[in-house]
A and B are shown apart, each in its own frame.
Chain A
Amino acid sequence: RKEVEQDPGPFNVPEGATVAFNCTYSNSASQSFFWYRQDCRKEPKLLMSVYSSGNEDGRFTAQLNRASQYISLLIRDSKLSDSATYLCVVNIDNYGQNFVFGPGTRLSVLP
């Protein structure tokens, strides 16, 4: 089993749709969690950290379920500019040594 798995995608959705991505991780000792977006041929950019209580940033909502070892990202009212690959990233410890990346889920928002 891979350490971090994501929905295989791609997701093709119309503008204005709500889309949800899921990510599961295998190491129960994982400490911190992040969602990154990566545009084609560019570097990954932090979208949001994921906190235990869940957190929201505008149209984006992240949830963490430690018992089931999964993380989710919800995008509401999707825009054309949301088209990108979304990477789930898990840090096994809080000393920065062990970030594990999921393979990513590609999203295309269609006009």
Chain B
Amino acid sequence: NAGVTQTPKFQVLKTGQSMTLQCAQDMNHNSMYWYRQDPGMGLRLIYYSASEGTTDKGEVPNGYNVSRLNKREFSLRLESAAPSQTSVYFCASTPSRGNSPLHFGNGTRLTVT
């Protein structure tokens, strides 16, 4: 049982390049999330998807787009990368019922030069 899988693990982009971070979960969870974590800032929510077919902005959505491709997959796209998007990105999922915690992927370390 893989849980939450993120790809790639590492990426270096030049300013202006685009890329898509992939996330898939095999736990049949309804809700999926994208967070970024910067030193001293804690985890900040970029976008989330409460269920298949829905997406909503979080605290820091500017410069990102998302797609909830199906129940398993939730991708994050940077259309024109900026140095301010250098960060560690975590995908997470939860059943979204009752007292259910978040389950995290291993993270993607992105550097934009």
A46 to B30, CA, bound (A): 19
- Secondary structure of the A contact surface, majority rule: loop
Q: Contacts of B106 on A, CB cut-off 8 Å?
A: 42-43
Which residues of B from 75 to 96 have beta carbons under 8 Å from A? 88, 90, 94-96
Q: Contacts of A101 on B, CB cut-off 8 Å?
A: 42-43
Known contacts A44-B43, A95-B50, A96-B50: does B96 contact A49 (CB below 8 Å)? Answer: no
The count of chain A contact residues (Cβ–Cβ below 8 Å) is 22
Residue A72 at the B interface, CB < 8 A? no
A104, B97: Cβ atoms closer than 8 Å: no
B104, A32: Cβ atoms closer than 8 Å: no
B103, A96: Cβ atoms closer than 8 Å: no
Complex partner residue of B104 from A43, A51, A95, A96, CB under 8 angstroms: A43
Residue A66 at the B interface, CB < 8 A? no
A97, B50: Cβ atoms closer than 8 Å: yes
**Using a CB–CB distance below 8 Å, which chain B residues touch chain A?**
30-31, 33, 40, 42-43, 45, 48, 50, 88, 90, 94-107, 109
**Using a CB–CB distance below 8 Å, which chain A residues touch chain B?**
31-32, 34, 41-46, 49, 51, 87, 89, 94-97, 99, 101-104
